[in-house]
Amino acid sequence: MNLFLATGCYSNIPNYYLGGISVSCWHPKWYGNPIMMRSLAPHGFKNDEPPEYIPKYKSLLSKLDPHKISSEAKEKTYFKAKERGLSEEEADAITPILLCWETPNQFCHRHMISEWINKETGIHVPEVKFRNGKLEVIERKKKKKEEPNQLTLL
């Protein structure tokens, strides 16, 4: 699979995968030394609840260029792979994966990044995991609307 850009969580992408890019405020110590894109980290409000977090993160994204962010992720991955001795073709084939902590179905800023890049550039940025030596696209489950309970019907 050759995707231009994807998202994932640290627990689904092994630390030896050369395309892992941290977009969190920090990464797990066990993950090693991933590429960092600090401009996408939610510094100063990472623990806010979604009603406060979402507008703050949208404001952060509004100050960035999604084309530059996408290109920067691809370039950083390419150069890391070249430093590790991969050929130009092999380095170019590595998909950059924007990583943070939350599992695929939890609220997470990387999903906001994915939607923003898709909306602004038309680039589809799927959620992936690494299984059996390759990347696999995984579908995020849509949250069901809460069923009304009996108290709300009274």
pTM for this predicted structure? 0.88
Question: What phi and psi, each to the nearest 5 degrees, are found at residue 55?
Answer: -65, -35
On whether the CB atoms of residues 14 and 134 are closer than 8 A, the answer is no
Whole-angstrom distance, CA of residue 10 vs CA of residue 2: 20
pLDDT in tens, 26-44: 999 999 999 999 999 999 9
**Mean pLDDT, rounded, of the chain:** 91
* Partners of 130 in the β-ladder: 135
Whole-angstrom distance, CA of residue 24 vs CA of residue 40: 7
pLDDT for position 139:
84
On whether the CB atoms of residues 57 and 46 are closer than 8 A, the answer is no
Assigned token pair, 86: 């991969």
